[in-house]
Structure 1
Amino acid sequence: MSSAGTPHLEPGINSRSLPVRDLSIHFLEAGPNDRSAPLILLCHGFPELSYSWRKQLLPLACLGYHVVAPDTRGYGRTVSLDQRDSGRTISYDDDISPFRMMNIVHDMIALVHALGYKTVKAVVGHDFGSSLAAHCAFTRPDIFRSVVMSSAVFTGPPSLPFAINPEQPKEERFWPRLDNLLASFNPPRKHYTNYYSTKEANGDLMSSPAGFRSLLRGYFHIKSADWAGNNKPSPPHLLQSPLELVHLPHYYVMPANATMADVAKANAPSAEEVSKNTWLSEEDLDVYVQEFGRTGFQGGLNRYRCMRDPKWEGDFGVLAGKKIEVPAMFIAGEKDWGVHQYPGSVTKMREVGCEKMDDEDLVIIPGAGHWVQQEQAKAFFEQVKRFLDKHN
């Protein structure tokens, strides 16, 4: 993706790459890049790209910041040096350890240094990028001086057994417990992270019967405020019990035998709904279609695999009991069920995950679903600006 090759980038947004660790990291940037301005780092989610921040780069740069949005490991034009030399794409059978959270945090720290900075004014993340931003601030508060999370909560590092009673039965791990609960529903269900961890997921998405472009349009649609189904049987709200997970849309709690391509196709937008979309134009969608059509989704899916496997997520156990110490903010769309998919997680984020999150900095934005920084770009920017101004 270059400024010349991608006309969707507004003047003032530049595209370049840097060698960082075992990667060539591609990123979009705006604002002074001579280290005269404080750095803001924007981290995207799944299935997104640095391009997902296109509506935030220039407004933040106009505040006097150097704003950088990388394609994170496994996405877009960021490639491992091995991939670049061999020309191959990421495979399910590859070693997934590079996609563990600690290693991607390492990527971000190395990128900050490669840009010539020692500190970051704010790390801002969405979806998986929200988790990445949280772990950056949590692990290195000396570098990442504040954090804005969106659409995915941070509830703290893995806990360690406390006051062990050898005679007490060992508690089943979270993911197997959740999988068993959903399988017991009538009809049986499965969590989307379970599905995204399977070998078939990438192929299902790439060869959707509806066509690849329709898959992406449908997926973005059903997780947005545009889809009426996000109000049924009721608008998104705090769940009181894991049993209420049965009410979540199928893009989170799927029918046991469904693929995500099935889910997206079943709720695809009509031509009229597409024509009314104001936040993801056909030209914008072209970027996602071209990039994921070229790379596939396996790089992003490998993060789900690591997330569910304690072998790869145990790195942070050494920080058990620690909180994010720097000022923290959380933003979500009013129509985003993802915020509520783990009962009690928002409360846990406030009480266990973050030390400095003011009441006013837990923000719900009307008229937005999961893709809040794209769907309601102005409102998202105004909240981030307020937070930055407060902590100047």
Structure 2
Amino acid sequence: MQTRIVQTDGLKQQILEAGANDGSAPLVLLIHGFPELGISWRAQVAALAEAGYHAVAPDMRGYGGTDKPERVENYSILHLVGDMVDLVRALGETTCTVVGHDWGAPVAWHCALMRPDVFTAVAGLSVPFQPRSPKGPPTALMRGLSERLGLGEFYISQFQTPDAHLDFEADVAGALRRGFYAYDGATPDDRRSTGFLAPGQTFLSAVPDDAALPPWMGESHFREYVAAFTASGFRGPLDWYRCIDLNWRLTAHLQNRRIAVPAVFLVGERDPVRVYAGQHEAGLKDWIPDLRSQTVLPGAGHWLQQERPEEVNAALIAFLKTSK
């Protein structure tokens, strides 16, 4: 397993990789979410390489060792998908399987939706494919959902403000600890996040002060996250959220388009994301006709590939073997 910098058309990308990179092993891209890094896939990179694949987990645009453009609009879904197209080509390949978790799942779904010639199979973890709504921009729909449910302000609405990242940067270790704790399967129900915030609360202040690291997160691994986000900050990662309305405007041409390539979806039974995105799980087959499996892991939370690495590895390898 090695870390290196790859120069693509648009930016320099830092990748974690293992397995033959001479074209003899099928390429698998592993796309992380927020607030994670390529190292979030370490267990999968090792297992996939052992199974005969070239596994590559990049730090995504705005994260870790990868370039961080200054302008908010440079974090659109078109840029994020384009980065992965560029990376496949820079690695000397023409096709690959793409796997995404959290924010990385929408990127992976859109890779398959936009460029099925390149991304010939897709796996989504924790966040189901959500088709573009013709009813209007997402932030307006989110405000309406909050009002209907009466649960408070949705955290993504707060992330739209230009200075939202400063709250995370004020105490990087504390912010990461709270984030991982709030969405972990081992956290008690009454202490996990719902994604909705009472008046005066923020994403971080809503989490108990005594939040502990999840059972799967060792101190040395946690220090890697803290060091990376201390160096790179949270502006770029939150710019992904600030582009969601822009993404809606840019993808009108994809309205009602379905994902045609083979796919699988995995989600933790106790993942808080299901509170607000779980409604899309029931209709996945309508939008992904070749959905090979849809698995709910009992007791698992949001950080699926790190909470349940053996189960995720087994599911991915089984899928890769049947989606050739």
Q: How far apart in 2 are the matches of 1:325 and 1:227?
A: 37
Residue aligned with 2:206, SS: helix
Separation in 2, partners of 1:16, 1:268: 34
Partner of 1:384: 316
Q: How does 1:174-193 map to 2 (within 5 A)?
A: 174-183=138-147, 189-193=152-156
Q: Could you tell me how far 1:195 is from its partner in structure 2?
A: 1.2
Paired residue type of 1:201: A
How many correspondences in the alignment? 324
Partner of 2:185: 225
User: What is the aligned counterpart of 1:96 among 54, 60, 72?
Assistant: 72
Partner of 1:139: 114
**CA-atom RMSD, angstroms?**
2.0
In structure 2, what is the Cα distance between the partners aligned to 1:325 and 1:336? 27
State the partner residue of 1:295: 232
Identity %: 33
Correspondence for 1:256 among 199, 206, 223: 199
Moved over 4 A (4+): 171-174, 183-186
1:178: Cα distance to partner?
2.8
Q: Which moved more, 1:283-292 or 1:257-266?
A: 257-266
Task: Find 2:98's aligned residue among 107, 120, 123.
Answer: 123
Q: Which has the larger radius of gyration?
A: 1
Task: From the superposition, tell whether residues 215 and 96 of structure 1 become closer, same or farther in structure 2 (CA, over 3 Å).
Answer: closer
- Give structure 2 stretches of 5+ with no counterpart: none
| Preserved CA contact (<8 Å) 2:123 2:265 | yes
Shift of 1:96: 1.4
Equivalent residues of 1:153, 1:339 under 8 A apart: no
Q: Which amino acid aligns with 1:252?
A: G
Structure 1: gaps of 5 or more residues:
1-12, 81-89, 161-170, 233-248
Instruction: Give yes or no for the alignment of 1:64 onto 2:52.
Output: yes
Please tell me whether the aligned partners of residues 97 and 312 of structure 1 are also in contact (alpha carbons under 8 angstroms): no
Q: Within 1, Cα distance between the matches of 2:136 and 2:21?
A: 49
Q: 1:284 aligns with which of 221, 236, 240?
A: 221
CA distance in 1, matches of 2:273, 2:54: 30
CA distance in 2, matches of 1:226, 1:195: 26
Amino acid at match of 2:295: V
Q: Residues of 2 paired with 1:138 and 1:55: CA distance? A: 27
TM-score, structure 1 as length reference: 0.78
Cα separation, partners in 2 of 1:16 and 1:315, compared to 1, 3 Å: same
Alpha-carbon offset, residue 49 of structure 1: 0.3
The answer as to whether partners of 1:28 and 1:51 remain within 8 angstroms in 2 is yes
Task: Give the secondary structure class of the aligned counterpart of 1:355.
Answer: coil
- The answer to whether the Cα contact below 8 Å between 2:194 and 2:272 also exists between their aligned partners in 1 is no
How big is the shift at 1:316?
Answer: 2.0
